[in-house]
Structure 1
Amino acid sequence: MNVLVLNGINLNMFGQRDPKQYGTTTLAEIDAQVVALGRELGAEVECFQSNFEGAFVERIHAAHREGTDAVLINAGAWTHYSYGIRDALAILKCPIIEVHMSNIHAREAFRHHSVIAEIARGQIAGFGVDSYLLGLRAAVAAVQAAA
């Protein structure tokens, strides 16, 4: 089972950016935890981050060509307005799990809406790094249930 973890704009700044909202864990540390849990669950996990929307979309297209089994996505601010990323994700035939470190529904009003939510299997928000780990468990369970 192959799971792709997509991290969007500014998420490379985890650990340095607004620790009240995002904690002090770096993206590299999050990636390591997700990859380790993936091994425990029998999934190979690849993590990808970009601050360039076109590169992000190209990686999603590659996931489609590769037959990726599931996608975990934290698109960062793109969550709220990138129809290009949403449309690229809609091409995928696999479960998409949306995750957020902070509770986007308890923050500024513009963060309450996700253009990705309607095509995602589900959304996990507000649990810090555990949002990723819970999301990975959900992704693996969705793939297994479909087998």
Structure 2
Amino acid sequence: MTATHVEQTIEDPQGRHQTVLVHIGESPLAWLHARGHLSERHYLAGDRLRADWEKAGLGARVTMRWDAAPRAGGRAVPARQPDPTLMQLSARERFDGAIRAAGPGLADILWRVVCAGEGLVAAERALGWPSRAGKLVLTLALDRVAGWYRVA
């Protein structure tokens, strides 16, 4: 393990905890896009999925929450600020919809590479797939997710 890689314990969609090695400087999705393996449409769809996953709070928490607790009799929060709980629920609904749009058999590679930050080789190995199958399946999954997010 080098300074640019960290081990992270993550929870997969089935609730199982796994340890993965993550390159902290670049996501696998950005790496594939930068090298011409993913179209702009696929990259944007994956980025939206990852953003919704993070906004929904579906990743493992590594620190405590620093949100201020409401005070009794304190000042009211301005009405124009969005409710973080509603934003989190909306992000969860979008994430779940995108995963459903990907369909059975495609959500695993999608979640591993886009959300958990696993590289394609590690994801293929973990899923028991042949070498180079991951990129094809990931592209199919991202195409469906792009359609669901209506990415042009």
How high is the TM-score relative to the length of structure 2? 0.33
- Higher RCO (CA-CA < 8 Å; seq separation 6+): 2
Of Structure 1 and Structure 2, the greater strand share is in 1
How high is the TM-score relative to the length of structure 1? 0.33
**Bigger CA radius of gyration:** 2
